[in-house]
Amino acid sequence: MAEIERPQIYLITPPAFEPEAFAPRLAAVLDAHPVACLRLTMATRDEDRVARAADELREIAHARDVPLVIEAHLGLVERLGLDGVHLTDGARNVRKVRTALGADAIVGAYCGASRHDGLNAGEAGADYIAFGPIGATALGDGTLAERDLFEWWSEVIEIPVVAEGALDEELIANLSPVVDFFAIGEEIWRTDDACATLARLIAAMG
């Protein structure tokens, strides 16, 4: 029987940062640990600020062969040479975005804890489905994505599944056998040593 592969890391930026100050922190993490994908997620609605951040991060990510996707700002993907988009509204716009960006772009869909939404997004052409949050968080309505959702998905569906939201070592150890990616962001950026924190989370995968 083949050995089960360890999940990969899908890195998320902090919701607010100064690109010049954040760049060396990001580079250090990418140099220290294998990262499958980077997602630019910013709380600001100022597209110029988002674009400046995307320009800065693209150089760092692409120099290390890490694709960069952006949350929601579809119009910036082709303009800035990014690799795709992460949609936060489930299946609603997946088909339209896939048509707009073409077959080679990465299109991901966050589907909360909804199996139905995940299936619809997959059928519409999403490259991966993200479920969450996993741990307790003040965001959302309190609904958590439970292990049985990931277990069912990994047994039945071939589309890669991402676990994200308030992850810790215990949750990662529990979910590792049934997910393809862990999306890690604030879990490491809010600590003094992001590289060391990520190392502990990776070690928890077993």
Q: Which two tokens stand for residue 167?
A: 């992850």
Q: Find all residues with CB under 8 Å of 73, minimum gap 6, and list them.
A: 47, 50, 85
Count of CB atoms within 10 A of residue 75's CB? 13
Strands 161-164 and 128-131: parallel
**Average pLDDT estimate for 106-121:** 98
SS3 121: helix
Domains and CATH numbers, the chain: 8-193 (3.20.20.70)
Q: What is the pLDDT of residue 100?
A: 96
1 pLDDT band (50/70/90 cuts)?
very low
**Average pLDDT estimate for 177-200:** 98
Q: What is the pLDDT of residue 116?
A: 98
Q: What is the pLDDT of residue 4?
A: 59
Distance between CA atoms of 105 and 100, rounded to whole angstroms? 10
Whether 45 has a pLDDT exceeding 80, the answer reads: yes
Whether 10 has a pLDDT exceeding 70, the answer reads: yes
Nearest of 104, 89, 109, 206 to residue 162 by alpha carbon? 109
SS3 79: helix
Residue 130's Cβ-count burial label (10 Å; 0-12, 13-18, 19+) is: buried
Q: What is the pLDDT of residue 137?
A: 82
Q: pTM (2 decimals)?
A: 0.96
Q: What is the pLDDT of residues 88-98, one digit of tens each?
A: 999 999 999 99
Q: What is the pLDDT of residue 5?
A: 84
Q: What is the pLDDT of residues 63-89, one digit of tens each?
A: 999 999 999 999 999 999 999 999 999
Characterise 185 by phi-psi region: left (phi > 0), alpha (psi -120 to 50), beta (else).
alpha
Q: What is the pLDDT of residue 139?
A: 67
**Average pLDDT estimate for 113-126:** 98
Whether 123 has a pLDDT exceeding 80, the answer reads: yes
Mean pLDDT, rounded, of the chain: 96
Q: What is the pLDDT of residues 166-187, one digit of tens each?
A: 999 999 999 999 999 999 999 9
**Average pLDDT estimate for 9-27:** 97
